[in-house]
Chain A
Amino acid sequence: MTGKKKNPTSLSERRKHFAWLIPLADLRLTLTFLSLSMVLVFVATLEQVRIGIRGAQAEFFESIYGIWHYPEQFWGGEFLNPLPIPIPGGYLLGGLLIVNLLAAFITRFQWTGKKMGIQLIHLGIIMLLIGQLATQAMQEESRMQIDKGESKNYLERFHGVELAFIDVTNPDSEQVVALPQQLLEEGGTHYAKDLPFKVRILEFGKNCEFNSLPPAQQPSGPTATVNRGVIESTNLEIRPKDEDFSSEGMNFGYVIFELLDGAESMGKWAAISHPAGNHWWAQINPKMGDLAFQPIRMGGRLWGVTLRPEREYLPYSIELLGIANEFYQGTDIPFNFESEIVLKMEANQSRRALVYMNTPLRHEGKTFYQYQMNKAADYTVFQVVRNPSWLVPYIACILVSIGLLWQFSFHLARFLNKNSGHKQSMA
């Protein structure tokens, strides 16, 4: 008895083997997810006005679901606004679309040269979705501000602070022990081998208001128990506040902490982070200047404590040689910002570069974009992005392009063949 040998990669075999995937590959699901994605984009765009880009991103795109309240200004808003409406988030829709596409790959697409274009297009789309997820998970955005004529070798995160203890006793180098924001949020008591004391985190907040009270008035709230440092000497009262996600939002993170020498308390301190840098404190109020460096002396060493934007030190430094900005004639609209820099690497290697709009500096996986500039104060600010998955969207686009070319070329060739065959038969 002879029979046709079964091809395990044939569509019918795959559909039989992965029958349970067939409902997941339904085209109606794809359309539903794409429609929900449009709803998500619409809602997030509306909410961006209220909570800013970063807030909308966190609430709706970097989440499984987001809660939306129908705007009061819309028709029927006075009745519908109080209702919390769950909106599927970016992670959920992205994940479901990936599952849907993979299921379609297995149970709907023919794995033949004829259909290779379709497969490449969908593979490109899957890569785009995965690439976006990878970017959200791994991308780091920081800033680097450099004064003209000076060098910088560290970045400061746009978001996220650290409680840094700095031993400056040695004239050449400082020993830094930094507790990142996640540990401050978790609380608890922390110990590091380079720290001569333990740090007990009592309270942390991402934003606050503060006010210096007259000497006779006792502060209430988080600083009521603070008995050491600049907060105590300035009689500062802190009132916790919600984080401001808007683009102009100024978030003053704060932390209340206790230092312990063994089991014995050394006192309770508080620190506040200025969103524009702690060097601003002295300009707001000279008495608060120490918020950039509250001295703590122990064992013959001088430590300073400060709550500051999280820092990342680099194995190289950048020196700012000069800056230039140009505006469209007769307007305040910037035409060009540019910074002339020297990149100083290890082994005394260096290279000069010009960083300007759309022409960033790329070095060791980091991209330095021209971000801000102050000609009067002679400083420049770079936005520094590290995105290990930056190539993925490019590869995805190439795949989609090849797929489209393949598919259209295939149809074109078939059409031309068919057309020439028809002419020959007519002849």
Chain B
Amino acid sequence: MPIWLFPLAAMYLLVSCGEDAGIRSYTAPNHYEGPVVAWKLPEQWGENPGMGGMMAGSFHVQTTDGPRGRIGVMPFRESVEATSIVNMFARELGHADYNNSSLKDLIKPKKLASRTFDLARLEDKTGKENPPRTALLAIYRQDAQTWLFPFIADRDLINEQLDNFYSFLQSTTLRAGKEPVRAIAPSLPSSPPSSTAHQPTWEAPEHWEQKPTTQMRIGNYAVTNDEGESLDFSITSFPGEVGGILANVNRWLGQVGIDKTDESGLSRYLSDRTIDEKPAKLVLAESDEQALYAAILFHEGRSWFLKLMGDVKLARLEKENFIGLIDSFCLGDH
């Protein structure tokens, strides 16, 4: 080799002597500060895509009729009262609110390996579906944090999948995080609208703060003012009539501190309205401090609720905006 090639070869070696890129695998001290929630899925279960909001995981049971039921994993930032969790589901399934003493009869401890879960089973009392829609709730507490595992399906599917549900619970790794997780309140996961091709649309006022949507809330907004008053606005949808107008209105009246009413007293709060060229009901109820404005629309086997609730003074100021929003609401099916 001619001598003058040596410096060129040396140059090439120098320029190209960087480390070869390769996958590096190593262990390091764990700096992760969030909660650790991990699981092994039973073979018959599948994961739901597009999971968001408070859910750390969402699954379904794969059957010959397609995916059925809904199993969720929800971490909470603090030790949430069992009554708060159970009542959120109980109300949607037509149950009266549970208190600490009545809850004792409902909750059954279930020991799985070294851990004990609190199980609560609620069946739909509205009698609209057969077999009845059922919520099997598993609650686990550790280090001042709470994990909820709701299994929502018809009663027969839940009974059939009970062993899978237990093995799923047993497989979970649960560790509280050093920083709070985002979930703040539980709610009943609803079935998705039957048609995903047509999505409802609406026009919300610009000053309404859009919040993350959840599986239950397809529209989610917060309204606040400088005086610390606030309103919560949601758009939800459920299959069927979900107990009908009277049951829903009475539940809402209770939430704003107004006594329940009967069929004859409904007219005090209810009026007819047309939304998206379809007959609908407008609910306007105000107590001394709280207000509830809602629109109820039943269409093609589904119920749609557009509900504004919160401080009465601010609600009155936002009433026109609320009416404007429900008038702009379009199911997108035409």
Q: In the complex, what residue of chain B is closest to A101 when comparing beta carbons? A: B7
Contact A134–B14 (Cβ < 8 Å): yes
Contact B30–A174 (Cβ < 8 Å): yes
Is B264 part of the contact surface with A, judged by Cβ < 8 Å? no
Chain A residues in 8 Å Cβ range of B175: 171
Chain A residues with a Cβ closer than 8 Å to the other chain, count: 60
Compute how far the CA of A215 lies from the CA of B56 in the bound complex, rounded to whole angstroms.
20
Chain B residues in 8 Å Cβ range of A293: 32, 34
Is A118 part of the contact surface with B, judged by Cβ < 8 Å? no
Q: Of A99, A180, A183, which one neighbours B8 at CB under 8 angstroms? A: A99
Contact A137–B15 (Cβ < 8 Å): yes
Chain B residues in 8 Å Cβ range of A287: 212
**Binary interface profile of B, 27-44, with partner A (CB < 8 Å = 1, else 0)?**
111111010111110000
Compute how far the CA of A194 lies from the CA of B25 in the bound complex, rounded to whole angstroms.
7
Is B171 part of the contact surface with A, judged by Cβ < 8 Å? yes
Contact B7–A174 (Cβ < 8 Å): no
Chain A residues in 8 Å Cβ range of B182: 286
Compute how far the CA of A168 lies from the CA of B28 in the bound complex, rounded to whole angstroms.
10
**Binary interface profile of B, 162-182, with partner A (CB < 8 Å = 1, else 0)?**
000000000111010000001
Is B265 part of the contact surface with A, judged by Cβ < 8 Å? no
Chain B residues in 8 Å Cβ range of A181: 21
Q: In the complex, what residue of chain B is closest to A133 when comparing beta carbons? A: B14
Compute how far the CA of A64 lies from the CA of B21 in the bound complex, rounded to whole angstroms.
23
Contact A176–B14 (Cβ < 8 Å): no
Is A300 part of the contact surface with B, judged by Cβ < 8 Å? yes
Is B113 part of the contact surface with A, judged by Cβ < 8 Å? no
- Interface residues in chain A, defined as those with a beta carbon under 8 Å from any beta carbon in chain B: 18, 20-21, 24, 91, 94-95, 98-99, 102-103, 106, 130, 133-134, 136-138, 153-154, 162, 166, 168-183, 190, 192-194, 215-216, 227-228, 232-233, 267, 286-287, 293, 295, 297, 299-302, 304, 313
Contact B29–A173 (Cβ < 8 Å): yes
Most chain A beta-carbon neighbours within 10 Å: one of B7, B22, B23, B171: B23
Contact A174–B32 (Cβ < 8 Å): yes
Q: Of B2, B24, B38, B213, which one neighbours A169 at CB under 8 angstroms? A: B38
Distance from B77 Cβ to chain A, minimum over Cβ atoms (Å): 14
Interface residue ranges of B161-217 to A (CB < 8 Å): 171-173, 175, 182, 199, 201, 212-213
Most chain A beta-carbon neighbours within 10 Å: one of B172, B173, B199: B173
Q: In the complex, what residue of chain A is closest to B41 when comparing beta carbons? A: A297
Chain A residues in 8 Å Cβ range of B52: 233
Q: A182-B21, A233-B52 are in contact. Are A175 and B39 (CB under 8 A)?
A: no
Is B10 part of the contact surface with A, judged by Cβ < 8 Å? yes
**Binary interface profile of B, 5-22, with partner A (CB < 8 Å = 1, else 0)?**
001101100111110011
State the majority secondary structure of interface residues on B. loop
Compute how far the CA of A171 lies from the CA of B176 in the bound complex, rounded to whole angstroms.
10
Q: A24-B4, A299-B40, A304-B32 are in contact. Are A215 and B213 (CB under 8 A)?
A: yes
Compute how far the CA of A129 lies from the CA of B175 in the bound complex, rounded to whole angstroms.
57
Is B144 part of the contact surface with A, judged by Cβ < 8 Å? no
Some 11 contacts from A to B, beta carbons below 8 A apart, are A95-B7, A98-B11, A103-B4, A137-B14, A137-B15, A137-B16, A173-B27, A194-B25, A295-B56, A297-B39, A300-B172
**Binary interface profile of B, 122-148, with partner A (CB < 8 Å = 1, else 0)?**
000000000000000000000000000
Q: In the complex, what residue of chain B is closest to A297 when comparing beta carbons? A: B38
Chain A residues in 8 Å Cβ range of B213: 215
Q: A216-B201, A287-B212 are in contact. Are A137 and B39 (CB under 8 A)?
A: no
Q: A99-B4, A137-B15, A301-B38 are in contact. Are A192 and B30 (CB under 8 A)?
A: no
Q: In the complex, what residue of chain A is closest to B73 when comparing beta carbons? A: A297
Compute how far the CA of A402 lies from the CA of B271 in the bound complex, rounded to whole angstroms.
102
Contact A313–B28 (Cβ < 8 Å): yes
Chain A residues in 8 Å Cβ range of B7: 95, 98-99, 102
Compute how far the CA of A216 lies from the CA of B332 in the bound complex, rounded to whole angstroms.
12
Q: Of B2, B26, B171, which one neighbours A300 at CB under 8 angstroms? A: B171
Contact A232–B39 (Cβ < 8 Å): no
Distance from B154 Cβ to chain A, minimum over Cβ atoms (Å): 27
Q: In the complex, what residue of chain B is closest to A178 when comparing beta carbons? A: B24
Distance from A59 Cβ to chain B, minimum over Cβ atoms (Å): 16
Is B57 part of the contact surface with A, judged by Cβ < 8 Å? yes
Q: A130-B14, A183-B23 are in contact. Are A267 and B29 (CB under 8 A)?
A: no
Distance from B328 Cβ to chain A, minimum over Cβ atoms (Å): 14
Distance from B11 Cβ to chain A, minimum over Cβ atoms (Å): 5
Distance from B228 Cβ to chain A, minimum over Cβ atoms (Å): 22
Q: Of B3, B22, B32, which one neighbours A166 at CB under 8 angstroms? A: B32
Distance from A178 Cβ to chain B, minimum over Cβ atoms (Å): 5
Compute how far the CA of A295 lies from the CA of B35 in the bound complex, rounded to whole angstroms.
11
Chain B residues in 8 Å Cβ range of A183: 21-23
Compute how far the CA of A130 lies from the CA of B17 in the bound complex, rounded to whole angstroms.
14
Chain B residues in 8 Å Cβ range of A215: 213
